[in-house]
Amino acid sequence: MNTSLLLVAHGSRREASNDEVRALTTRLRTAADDRFHQVDCAFLELASPLIPGGLVRLIQGGAERIIVLPYFLAAGRHVTEDIPAEIAEVRADHPEVDIVLNPYLGTADSLPELLLSLIAY
């Protein structure tokens, strides 16, 4: 079974912020090498594609399993309710595709080391 990855960000009225997510997705695709069939991003609101559109695009690209990775720092309502609700709608339309919600960025064990690596002073 092939697996695709969808990075899901909040989305911003400021298009440069959305472009930061798109650029990160390009770096993520490179870093993932052959681990995933497809790597793409989607947004909860305010930017394109929205989550359903992003999932459907991966399904049209042949995805059999999709891992949704929330690019969020805290387990607020967006992570615990809104993203699962968006996923549930697409699941209902595409029961043949296994859509898995991954833990969000803020749960990463190595966040402290990443933050320390950022400090140049």
Q: Which residues are at the interface with its own copies (CB under 8 A)?
A: 3, 5, 7, 9, 12, 14, 16-17, 20-21, 24, 27-28, 30-32, 35, 65, 67, 69, 71, 73-77, 100, 102-103, 105-121
Six token digits for residue 68 = 């949704």
Please list, in sequence order, all residues whose beta carbon lies within 8 angstroms of the beta carbon of residue 3, skipping any fewer than 6 positions away: 35, 36, 37, 63, 64, 65, 66, 67
To its own copies, the closest distance from the beta carbon of 92 in angstroms equals 21
The nearer residue to its own copies, 20 or 45, going by C-beta atoms, is: 20
Cβ atoms of 66 and 4 within 8 Å: the answer is: yes
- Residue from 10, 37, 78, 94 carrying the catalytic annotation: 10
Would you call 10 a catalytic residue per the annotation?
yes
The nearer residue to its own copies, 85 or 115, going by C-beta atoms, is: 115
Pairwise CA distance, residues 36 & 57, whole Å: 15
Catalytic residues: 10
